Structure 1
């Protein structure tokens, strides 16, 4: 680690990104007033239990490393309130203790090998954005329905065949991206997310949409490319502000004549 021009106990912001560290330098754990820690783009293989000594840290970026396990001690970081970035690593699970980070707003677990998420994730009730793209998830825990402040949920490139009926508990959701999964249907509860602005369901196995999808009156973009749609609910006409509707590569879709009315309202429709 480079020489520092101030005592370790006075350092509040440490950026060591894009170096060749294979482990976190021991000196870091003596920085008891540290609030921001960036070790992204290194070669870290693990996060040691000593991480719990950083009791004042608010932001951590461990993205783009080679981390194989996330320790339970991560849950001891009670002041972690802004972001925890763990994307582009090699771990298969996250510990249930992660649910103790009840101040956290942004969590990025994308580009790992996750096959499941702990139910304790539902304890992150201040979460604003959750990114778990490009993993191997086959299901979401029902407890995700407790993330009442969630605005963006990114699920792209997993193995989800369905989503639980949790969306009634996510009243602030504005972005739902579930592209490149194996979804067979859209939960009815999605229609309760009336603040939703972007819904991406591209490249799934959907044969239809909820009849009440017209309740999404704030929706601006709806991407349904590369599914198995055969028909569309006429309630789509109720989304008067819709700007973009993409229906390409639904080879069995009967295109209804009323789609012209959406275009007359200014919506760009791709079929």
Structure 2
């Protein structure tokens, strides 16, 4: 089960889902060696700090990451008030993880496509209105892509090439329609698109056959597509805070569905078949 803790703005800061610690980094005091460090509450820290979790991602128990900007494959420039990413960053062709969160970025250079070894990229908590097509060139991006808390309304079709990406967060933007590029990311295990303006999900979501978690709370969804029932690995659906008026009975075809969260939904008359879904072991919160 997922547990949420709210940040100072009332938004979830820390999610515990299937053993992975997620959300945004926070600063700490200097570590014992006197180096400035940051405590991360997100997979970015796990990738950068060492260790391995149950999905094979790099991780640690402390989530304390010394700020690194000189050498090595992991670079965090979190909350450095950059405004613009230094050109020197694009010369770091060896980078595997790059954190540019919370820097007031309004644009991103096409040169990001040169960082072909990236496995994790965090662009969250900025003011981006677009992301460059060249991100689609990062076909080694396998672990995490954070685009949350920006001003995005669309994603370039080139992102469809990120077929090995397992985690995508596009929450807290201004999407009215789930970008078609997302449904081309066929390796996705977890998709977070909360706090947008989504009015529907496309039937092409059926392409995400590895998807286990779908988080779409606080949107404008009135229902889900029938195709949702064809996702063989789907475990969790979070529909909290949506104006849902109906649900597809095809959800009964979801062999591994464990949790359907309908809290804060006041517009739905529960269909009779929900009882059958619960009898099969799916927990329905309503």
TM-score interval (norm. to shorter): 0.7 to 0.9
Equivalent in 222, 231, 250 of residue 189 of structure 1: 250
Provide closer, same or farther for how the CA distance between residues 23 and 122 of structure 1 changes in structure 2, counting only shifts above 3 A.
same
Runs of 4+ with deviation above 6 angstroms: none
- Please name the residue that 2:85 is paired with: 24
Q: CA deviation at 1:4?
A: 5.1
- Please name the residue that 2:230 is paired with: 169
TM-score, structure 1 as length reference: 0.76
Matched position secondary structure for 1:168: helix
CA distance in 2, matches of 1:3, 1:157: 36
Gaps of 5+ in 2: 1-66
- Please name the residue that 2:28 is paired with: none
Report the number of matched residues: 218
CA distance in 1, matches of 2:114, 2:277: 48
Q: CA deviation at 1:202?
A: 2.1
TM-score, structure 2 as length reference: 0.72
* 1:140-197 Cα distance to aligned partner (Å, 9 max, x none): 1111111111110000000111211112321111110011111110111111223222
- Please name the residue that 1:236 is paired with: none
CA distance in 1, matches of 2:124, 2:108: 12
- Please name the residue that 2:166 is paired with: 105
Determine if contact 2:69/2:76 at 8 Å carries over to the other structure.
no
CA distance in 2, matches of 1:118, 1:86: 13
Q: CA deviation at 1:38?
A: 0.6
**Going by fraction, where is strand more abundant, 1 or 2?**
2
Gaps of 5+ in 1: 225-271
- Please name the residue that 1:264 is paired with: none
CA RMSD, aligned part only? 1.8
CA distance in 2, matches of 1:25, 1:111: 26
CA distance in 2, matches of 1:46, 1:210: 49
* 1:77-110 Cα distance to aligned partner (Å, 9 max, x none): 1100000001111111112222110000000000
CA distance in 2, matches of 1:76, 1:165: 32
